[in-house]
Amino acid sequence: MKNKFNSLIAFLLFLFVSVGMSAQTIRGVVVDYASGSPLSYVTIGLLDKPEIGTMTDSLGRFSLKNVPVGRHTVQATSVGYEPNIFREILVTSAKEVYLEIPLTENIQELGEVVFTQRTNKDRALNSMATTGARMLSVEEANRFAGGMDDPARLVGSFAGVVSSVGNNGISVHGNAPHLLQWKLEDVEIPNPNHFADISTLGGGVLSSLSSNVLGNSDFFTGAFPGEYGNAVSGVFDMKLRNGNNQKYENAFQIGILGIDFASEGPFSKKHNSSYIFNYRYSTTSFLDLGGNLDYQDLNFKVNFPTKNAGVFSVWGTALLDKFTNDFEENPDKWEFMDDNKKSRAKQSALAAGVTHRYFFNNNAQLKTTLATTYSSNDASEDAFDTKMNSTPTLDMDTRNTNLIFNTSFNRKFSSRFTSKTGFTFTRMFYNMDLQMTPFRNKPLETISQGDGSTNLISAYTSAAIGLSDKLTMNLGVNSQILTLNNSFTIEPRVGMKWQASNRASFAVAYGLHSRMEKMDVFYVRTAGVDSKPVNQDLDFTKAHHLMLTFNYKISDNVNLKIEPYFQSLFDVPVIADSSYSVLNRKTFYVEDALVNKGKGRNYGVDLTLERYLDKGFYYMLTGSVFSSKYKGGDGVWHNTKFNRNYAFNVLVGKEWMMGSNKQNILGANLRFTLQGGERYSPVDVEATMEHPDKEVQYDETRAYSKQLSPMFVTNASVSYKMNKKKVSHEFAINILNLTGYEEFLGHQYNLKTGEIELYRQATVLPNISYKLHF
């Protein structure tokens, strides 16, 4: 045993002190942006190393060998296509780089062509997107301060998004986080965050989707294309990347927030099949987060190309969370009413599927997916008296399983016309039982209860039309029906873009969008022995989206984007004669009868000024000025809970090449966030004092009329990457909320003083980590 231990230590020391660097490879494939078909005979080269170049083969594949460690810019050019430039490509000694480069066919006559280069950050991956879309780079999630390798936290720095510190819920244009749709591999999935929906519905602590397996993805803030249904706020459309099909690569990371291991490589080099997976287990016991958090997650994808039958892939993501609160067993130390509660929760979620893609010879692609999603939440809570006698206050056991079939057919008929048509059938199985007590020492009462199944069926068609060499149009329509109550929608979508010059473009898009409520809402029951569901006739929440975009390329590395928008929501579920609206929903449950009589309106302007990483330096300035109002069942317009009025972010970072051969990278990144303060309703002191449990009551006739002082948060990260021969090491320090801003979490009744106090808490998340690539 001692010899084996010594051998292991020697091996690790060898990995760490090994000197010299082996040249690395950049591989990938070039595809047509509209159809996804591979493009042959495309010239690929490094702008910063002109001597390194190659050409794609008959399957669109390329390989750039002997690429030095560091940042590089890759350019792809082909006759009849607009050049595309991929910036910020990080090459390390231990890992090959794989790129999928889309090229847009030029619709001008060849003799009139004036080439306009594009960069990989100029547009969304979805070719039908007109406005309100941004491509999310996984490399940014690793680099930007406050990203914490979490794509949900990363988009918090984007224009139009308001973020929090204690959770990663995404509020887009003043909408509640639960109105955002999460998609993975073209399938809508449950909230993919650890400890989801506990503090904020639609958010969690950290994403369960690892940056080790995620590919570049799209994030939409409004007026999204026809293929996106069941969403009224925004869409996070994420992709898993394929593993390396030529060589084995591994990564191990240990840090305060967890340990994880990732691996990828070929199943068969001859058939270009590959696998990739990542497993993570938490070590958050080092942190003071108000309880014991234990989480783990797994992400994977295997890819099987065939000679004549297309490409098959099997993919999945899963998480498991456990939580127990910090319960004080000495009643003399209880300060607030909730201090006498002992709670536990166990959550699990997964999404898995089989996807098949088949490319026809006529620039057409058929993509079909059969998938399943599952989520469960098992929670209980007990209240203790001063003699340590307990009574239950919460008992929840919910299970939701979806079986999903979707298929889409995409064809590029010419450089001026591309169409995409698709269909999705979702069979939803549910088994839920939520019981709560109205007051302590009272029996539990059923809030929602249901067991059965129903269907959500949707279909869409959309087309991209080149009206001229500078003017393009996107047309589409989406429809969906919920068979539970036969709610039905037909939703038109339209967008136009004018390329006014090589540097400036204008775009406008409109869409009608809708979203169904979570299944538990439909099964809220009336009190009593013969309780019955009261919300089964609820219709979709609907919204008109209108968004404009002005994009100006100040230079090759600096881009300005301005996006005014207007959103009108209607048929919003509200409580009759009350200010309550699901647009403000924060908790994981609803306990009242709802009617589709509410409204909402959000309008404002988003601005992004970005300098892409070049010569080791980048910055991004984003700003949003907006108004978010809603009308409840009382017929009165109120501020929404998420109406902060403004949000500004400044991100800046610098990299230095270090070492004798300039092979190591020192990076430092900062993010400053200034947002309007949190909104809340005035406390009804008299009603609170009369409440048996002294549960804080609010004056809902003046819902969210109060606003706290502005929120200022600073995030920072420092990293050092050491590139050795076939091995790389990375040491990093990431700190979320460096300045210790205290977020507003509500009000509490103080048992010792008899006063109602503002409850604020500073969540500071530091993560010191070490990562090994080998």
pLDDT at position 587 is 81
Query: How far apart are the C-alpha atoms of 514 and 467, rounded to whole Å?
Result: 29
pLDDT at position 21 is 53
Q: With bands split at pLDDT 50, 70 and 90, how would you rate the model's confidence at 142?
A: confident
Last residue of a domain, one of 86, 120, 154: 120
Query: How far apart are the C-alpha atoms of 58 and 40, rounded to whole Å?
Result: 5
pLDDT at position 147 is 81
Site of tokens 């907006």: 626
Q: Look at residue 370 and tell me if it is in a domain.
A: yes
CATH number at residue 79: 2.60.40.1120
| Residue environment code for 84-104, b if the CB has 16+ CB neighbours within 10 A, otherwise e | bbbbbbbbbbbbbbbbbbbbb
Of residues 114 and 177, the one with the higher pLDDT is: 177
Residues 361, 241 within the same domain: yes
Q: Look at residue 10 and tell me if it is in a domain.
A: no
Q: With bands split at pLDDT 50, 70 and 90, how would you rate the model's confidence at 111?
A: very low
Q: Look at residue 279 and tell me if it is in a domain.
A: yes
Alpha carbon separation from 113 to 503, 555, 622, 743 (Å, rounded): 16, 21, 34, 55
pTM above 0.75, yes or no: yes
What's CA 171's distance to the chain center, in Å?
A: 11
Alpha carbon separation from 382 to 325, 391, 446 (Å, rounded): 11, 5, 16
Q: Look at residue 4 and tell me if it is in a domain.
A: no
Q: What is the mean pLDDT of the chain?
A: 91
Q: What average pLDDT does this structure show over 66-75?
A: 92
User: How many C-beta atoms surround the C-beta of residue 389 within 10 A?
Assistant: 10
CATH number at residue 655: 2.40.170.20
Of 277-286, 678-687, 699-708, least confident by mean pLDDT is: 277-286
Residues 153, 66 within the same domain: no
pLDDT at position 269 is 78
Contacts of 567 (CB under 8 A, 6+ apart): 173, 175, 222, 543, 544, 545, 546, 600, 601, 602, 603
Residues 78, 217 within the same domain: no
Q: CB burial class (10 A; 0-12, 13-18, 19+) of residue 310?
A: middle
Q: For strand 118-119 and strand 84-91, is the pairing parallel, antiparallel, or unpaired?
A: parallel
Of residues 258 and 560, the one with the higher pLDDT is: 560
| Percent of all residues in the chain with a pLDDT value above 90, rounded to a whole number | 73
Q: What average pLDDT does this structure show over 104-132?
A: 72
Residues 150, 215 within the same domain: yes
Query: How far apart are the C-alpha atoms of 569 and 600, rounded to whole Å?
Result: 5
Q: With bands split at pLDDT 50, 70 and 90, how would you rate the model's confidence at 589?
A: confident
CB 634 within 8 A of CB 693: no
CB 439 within 8 A of CB 406: no
Rg, C-alpha atoms of the chain: 27
pLDDT at position 112 is 43
Q: With bands split at pLDDT 50, 70 and 90, how would you rate the model's confidence at 672?
A: very high
Q: What average pLDDT does this structure show over 574-586?
A: 94
pLDDT at position 262 is 96
Residues 506, 542 within the same domain: yes
Q: What average pLDDT does this structure show over 136-155?
A: 84
Of residues 509 and 144, the one with the higher pLDDT is: 509
> Domain range spanning residue 116?
18-120
Q: With bands split at pLDDT 50, 70 and 90, how would you rate the model's confidence at 253?
A: very high
Last residue of a domain, one of 120, 135, 169: 120
Q: Tell me the one-letter amino acid at 640.
A: T
Q: Would you give the DSSP letter of residue 153?
A: H
User: How many C-beta atoms surround the C-beta of residue 299 within 10 A?
Assistant: 26
Q: Would you give the DSSP letter of residue 336?
A: B
| Percent of all residues in the chain with a pLDDT value above 70, rounded to a whole number | 94
pLDDT at position 110 is 45
User: How many C-beta atoms surround the C-beta of residue 607 within 10 A?
Assistant: 18
What pLDDT, in 10s, does the model give residues 158-169? 999 998 888 899
Of 15-24, 514-523, 539-548, least confident by mean pLDDT is: 15-24
Of 102-116, 117-131, 635-649, least confident by mean pLDDT is: 102-116
Q: What average pLDDT does this structure show over 446-452?
A: 90
pLDDT at position 289 is 55
CA-wise closest residue to 718 among 650, 638, 760, 656: 656
Q: What average pLDDT does this structure show over 52-69?
A: 94
pLDDT at position 12 is 47
Q: Report DSSP letters for 38-82, one per residue.
A: B-SS-EEEESS-TT-EEE--TTSEEEEEEEPSEEEEEEEE-TTB-
Query: How far apart are the C-alpha atoms of 547 and 221, rounded to whole Å?
Result: 10
pLDDT at position 226 is 95
Q: What average pLDDT does this structure show over 141-147?
A: 84
Of 83-92, 116-125, 292-301, 522-531, least confident by mean pLDDT is: 116-125
Q: What average pLDDT does this structure show over 598-603?
A: 98
pLDDT at position 115 is 45
Query: How far apart are the C-alpha atoms of 531 and 419, rounded to whole Å?
Result: 49
Q: Would you give the DSSP letter of residue 14?
A: H
Residues 115, 150 within the same domain: no
User: How many C-beta atoms surround the C-beta of residue 50 within 10 A?
Assistant: 8
Q: Look at residue 127 and tell me if it is in a domain.
A: no
Q: Which of 20-24, 69-73, 330-334, 568-572 has the highest mean pLDDT?
A: 568-572
Residues 76, 172 within the same domain: no
Query: How far apart are the C-alpha atoms of 654 and 716, rounded to whole Å?
Result: 12
Q: What average pLDDT does this structure show over 353-379?
A: 95
CB 380 within 8 A of CB 395: yes
Q: With bands split at pLDDT 50, 70 and 90, how would you rate the model's confidence at 482?
A: very high
| Residue environment code for 221-246, b if the CB has 16+ CB neighbours within 10 A, otherwise e | bbbbbbbbbbbbbbbbbbbbbbbbbb
Whether 15 shows a pLDDT value over 80: the answer reads: no
Of residues 205 and 637, the one with the higher pLDDT is: 637
Q: What average pLDDT does this structure show over 706-734?
A: 94
Of residues 478 and 124, the one with the higher pLDDT is: 478
Residues 106, 206 within the same domain: no
Q: Which residues pair with 716 in a beta bridge?
A: 670, 735
Residues 306, 407 within the same domain: yes
pLDDT at position 528 is 60
Task: Cite the DSSP H helix spans in 648-755.
Answer: 685-690
Of 51-55, 586-590, 699-703, least confident by mean pLDDT is: 586-590
Q: With bands split at pLDDT 50, 70 and 90, how would you rate the model's confidence at 120?
A: low
pLDDT at position 14 is 46
Query: 3-state DSSP call for residue 459?
Result: strand
What pLDDT, in 10s, does the model give residues 453-480? 999 999 999 999 999 989 999 999 999 9
CB 234 within 8 A of CB 221: yes
Whether 545 shows a pLDDT value over 50: the answer reads: yes
Q: What average pLDDT does this structure show over 128-148?
A: 87
pLDDT at position 5 is 45
Residues 173, 28 within the same domain: no
Q: What average pLDDT does this structure show over 721-730?
A: 92
pLDDT at position 234 is 94
Q: Look at residue 9 and tell me if it is in a domain.
A: no
Query: 3-state DSSP call for residue 104?
Result: coil
Q: What average pLDDT does this structure show over 550-575?
A: 96
Q: What average pLDDT does this structure show over 612-624?
A: 94
Of residues 337 and 372, the one with the higher pLDDT is: 372
Q: Look at residue 7 and tell me if it is in a domain.
A: no
Domain count, the chain: 2
Contacts of 594 (CB under 8 A, 6+ apart): 521, 524, 534, 535, 538, 573, 574, 575, 582
Residues 515, 548 within the same domain: yes
Q: With bands split at pLDDT 50, 70 and 90, how would you rate the model's confidence at 749?
A: very high
Q: Look at residue 177 and tell me if it is in a domain.
A: yes
pLDDT at position 737 is 94
Residues 647, 718 within the same domain: yes
Q: What average pLDDT does this structure show over 83-106?
A: 91
